[in-house]
Every structure is written in structure tokens, then in C-alpha cells.
A and B are shown apart, each in its own frame.
Chain A
Amino acid sequence: MPAPEQRRIIFRHIDEAGYTPDLACYVRNGGYEVLRKSVQRKPDELIDEVKKSGLRGRGGAGFPSGLKFSFVDRKSGKPIYLIVNADESEPGTFKDRYILHKDPHQLLEGIMITCFANRVERTYIYIRGEFPEGAKILERAIAEARAANFVGPDILGTGYGCEIYVHRGAGAYICGEETGLIESLEGKRAYPRIKPPYFPAVLGLYQCPTIVNNVETLCHVKHIADMGGDAYARIGTPNNTGTRILCVSGHVRRPGYYEFEVGKVTMGQLLHEVCGGPLPGRTFKAVIPGGSSAKVLRFGERFKGKRKVGAEMVEYDWGVEDIPMDFDSLAMIGSMGGSGGVIVMDDSVSMVEALGNINAFYSHESCGQCTPCREGTLWMKKITGRMVHGEARPEDGALLRSIADQIAGTGPGPTGRTICAFGEACAWPTQSFVAKFADEFKGYAESKGAPRPEGAPELV
């Protein structure tokens, strides 16, 4: 079946010739009209639209956004904060970069609608330190929006006021975790907080109710307010509504960003048709479907079971190519849609070395708060490093798995022993690589570090 057409809602203008990030261009393209309409409505109506839309967070966890809004403690009398998570740092993910750099006012409009709906009067955009240009573009856009009364003390003459400030991170991946992000915004080390009691909706920034949303998610809110929750819910597939930006990197002919209705494109269509297939003379070997924390998929493996289609349970028997790119299908086959970052590896890649690369990342980024994660990530890095640069042993696969299991447990859900989900995120790659490529880990030991194929770059 041929791949469906892209449906660009969020990325509509991203590659448009002559489209610039300034206010004039945004307004020329109908910008801030949705905000104008929205501030004439009741805030609760807007929250209802988001609930009806079925929107799920695009940052990684896929949590229903409307539900998140409804958890906010509105009775405490404390101010409510919105924090925009622009810390885009999950390896393989590069969608927010383009929104921030090329269409910042779309984000600002989404923010202001969300703030109005939730009676937020102060917002911080936490942007990763490695986007210095993006931070400048946002500052400029906020100044323009303030001058035009889309942001500030009296928005569009309604008497409702809200300020937006840009806050730059400084290179720590853990700031993408919402409670770590909050600690960082309070001027501390980004040590994630334990839940309960520190659910941001109740005890977030400065112990006040706080909403933390991803950049792409907030852009969707603008379009939901525009077309209505019911219309939005008809885009995509049931429980996986709207569009989503898939970022494809690695060994395909046309890597890049592609926006599709959620669940309408399969992994096979995406990689073979949209991205042009493998590089000349190569074949696909493995793919990580939702950012480097997501469990790896091996081409050739089969996924079988029963799934709900409409009211009925039907059997499925899928190869990697058959998996629809949505939240539920990817979770069902034991991985996740995560942040939408699809990393493709072909037959030139050694899975031992790829895991060594990933382990070095998590070891560098563990915040160090919980012992299983701080020590476990370091040992997983050391073991894969030794396999590549020293001596690989036949028992290394089992050793790696035992360490990963001690961090994350072995359940499919959050069974970990750490304060935050980083514990699972750092263990899932090791658990899945070792389980699915057991032959390769064993072979690597037997051949004492199989020589890399001609021309293949080193990874560790």
C-alpha cells in the first residue's frame, strides 16, 4: 500500500519559501486570529475542546493533555504556572528545533491560548542551552507579541494578562524530565523530585500548581482551539488523534522531519517510501522508533497478539514494517512512540558498538541522585566499552542485562527503582539490544570484537 500524503498542520510553513519568523509574516498568514477568538470564550470551554480532541503529549510519555489540564489545583489560591519544555534532548529528536527557529509565533499563540484556558499568568520557556539562536529568536518574537498586545498585562483589551520569559538550560539531558526541569528553573541541580507528593499539577514550580508541556503539544492546542476538539479528534486514529512529527535519522536516503496523521503511516512506508529506503547496497538491520530510550526493533522479528479495532478484538501478526506509527501500536509491541525520533541502523552497524554509544550517553547524563542509575549506567558503559576496545566475553550479554534489570526491573511498565523515568530510559536500550541481538553479542565475544565492516565509522 502506498504511503499516505503528509498532513502538515504544525509544520505547514516550515519549508515555505519566504516564510520568516517575524510577527508580520505570521499575522499575514492568519496568525493570532485563534487567540483573538479564544479570549472571547470561557476558559473551561477551551479545556473541554482539548479534552475532546484526545491530544496526547508529544514530548515522550503521550499523556492526555486535557487530563493534565484538569489535574491542575485551582483551589489553592496560589499562582498557576505554565512551563514550556523546549529542552529537546532525547537523541533522535529534532522537531522542536524547527518550530522554535522558524515559526516561533505559532508556539507563542499556542502558549497564550493554553495560559488563558488555565488562568496562567506567568510562563517560562525552558529552552536547551544548545539553542542559543533559538533563545534569541524567541526573545525577539516575545517582544513583538508584547508590543502587539498578544502577550503582556492586558491581552487584546480583555484585562487578562500573562508574561512569557525565556530561560536557558545548560546542557543537562535530565532537564527534559519535568520535575528535574522545575528544580533547574528554581536555580538548582536538576535532580528530579519524587512523585508523590511532587506532582507538578499540585506542587510544581515554587510549590505552586504547574503545567509542563512540550513545544509541539502546545502548537497543537492552537489548532484544536481553531478547528474544535471534535474536528481535531477525527484526524489520525482513535485514541491516537491529530498529527505528529516523525524525525528520521541515520541510515536512510532521505532523513528528515515528516508530519503525518497519527497511525496512518506504517514504519515500512515511512522508511521505504517516504525516506527512500536503505542506502545503496545496504539493508535495514534495526530501528529505534521513539528516541534512544525506546526499545530497539530488529528487522525480521514478528509481533503477534490481539488488538482492538473498533469494538472487536482482532489478531495481528506484524513485521517491523507493518507497525503503525502511533502511541498504542508501538507500546503494544513492547516499545514506544516516545518523542517521535526514529533512528535507523543498517547492516554496517555493530549492535554492540551502537549500544556502547547509547550507554555512554546515559552514563554522561544520569543526574547521580539514585544509586542504581548512577552506578548502573556507568557499569553498562564500561562493559560495552570494554567489549569494543578491550576484550568481549561470552557472558557480557547476561551481565549487561542483570545490571539493566537492577535499575529498571523487568516489567513492561514503570517497575523501576529510581525516582524518575530515566532509570527505565537508560535500561531499555540494554535490555532490548541484548535480548534481540543475543547472537551478535555472543559472536562479538567469540571473534574478540569482530572487525568493523569496511568504511563503517567507529561509535564508541
Chain B
Amino acid sequence: MRPVNLAAHTLREIDEVITHYPQKRSASLPLLHLVQADQGHISHEAIEWIARKLELQPINIYELVTFYPMFRQKPIGRRHIKVCRTLSCAIMGGYRTCAEFQRQFGAGLGEVSPGGDVTIEFVECLASCGTAPVVMIDDELHERVDAARARELSEKIKAEAGAPATST
């Protein structure tokens, strides 16, 4: 098995979060979040690593990865665009917003765009129905994103990609 190289701060957070629960298994979702934030996705090696860490069988972790929509087994683009698909957003034009993002990046739903800028996804209700249509780009919520606003946001993402990499 190949090793899973997690950052030191991720390992620290993992050890801390396990202490929050009387039973280790409860830390499965928190560990999946931490590992995904560190690695970008959940690999088979990561599943086995988490299972060992929590004294579980790999299937106990794998079945979570396939059940919870936020966990992914493949890498995604540099930015993750999640467009709300559910009713309140849809009647305010959510499908158009999504189509515009797809047009801007030439990407199908769930695929990494050519060049690797983004992965675009339709997701279910983001609980901001009063400011529909809404979109999350990574961890940030954007409200009232019509097609024109989707174009602006796309331009910004493309510009970041063109800019020289900054060390963060």
C-alpha cells in the first residue's frame, strides 16, 4: 500500500477530532473531510489509512464515500463550482446559470474542464433560497447568480489561472 502523505497540521487536527467522540467510529466523517481537504479527493489508500486509524474495516469508510455526495474519489479542477439545482433556484434560472458556467469552461457536469480550471456540478438545495439562484465556488456562497453574473465569475476564475502562481 502506498503511504498517504498528509500535512502535519492535518495529522494534528485528525488526532484532535478523534478525542471529540466516545467512540472512534464517529470520527469517520470528520476524517474524510480533513483528508479530502488535504488531498483533494479520497483515494483507496486514504480509505485504508482512515480505516486503520479508526480501527475499522475499509468497507466501513468506503460505504460512506459512496453514500455522502460531498466525498469524491477522483481529483477535481482547481476551483469547484456547485450550482444549486433545486426548485427555488431552478424557477429563478438556476439551469441557465449552470449552462453558462459549462459554456464558459467547455465542461460537462462533473468533469474537470479542459485546462483544469474547474469542475462544475449541479447540487441539491444550498439553503439560500431567498437569494436564488445561488452557487458555491469552493467554500464561498455567491447569491443571485444569473447568467451575466456567472460570466463575470468565470472571467475571474480564468484570470486567476492566467496570473503567476502566488505562494500561499
Contact = CB atoms under 8 A, between A and B. Distances in A.
A94 B70 CA distance: 20
A190 B132 CA distance: 28
A249 B33 CA distance: 31
A52 to B, nearest CB: 32
B121 to A, nearest CB: 11
A92 B88 contact: yes
A171 B27 CA distance: 17
Contact of A256 (B26, B29, B92, B130): B130
Interface string B4-27: 000000000000000011110111
Given A206-B22, A249-B132, A357 B90 contact: yes
A257 interface: yes
Interface residues of A, number: 56
Interface string A336-380: 000001010100010000100110110011010000000000000
A431 interface: no
Interface stretch (A180-188, A218-226, A230-238): A180-188
Contacts of B69: 170-172
B87 A170 contact: no
A92 B85 CA distance: 12
A130 interface: yes
Contacts of B96: 457-458
A91 B70 contact: no
B28 interface: yes
A412 interface: no
Interface stretch (A161-169, A301-309, A438-446): A161-169
Interface stretch (B60-68, B103-111, B155-163): B60-68
Interface of A: 88-94, 96-97, 128-133, 165, 167-173, 184-190, 206, 247-251, 255-257, 288, 292, 341, 343, 345, 349, 354, 357-358, 360-361, 364-365, 367, 457-459
19 contacts: A91-B87, A91-B124, A92-B87, A167-B20, A167-B26, A167-B30, A170-B29, A170-B64, A184-B29, A187-B28, A188-B64, A250-B87, A250-B92, A255-B130, A354-B91, A357-B85, A358-B87, A367-B67, A457-B94
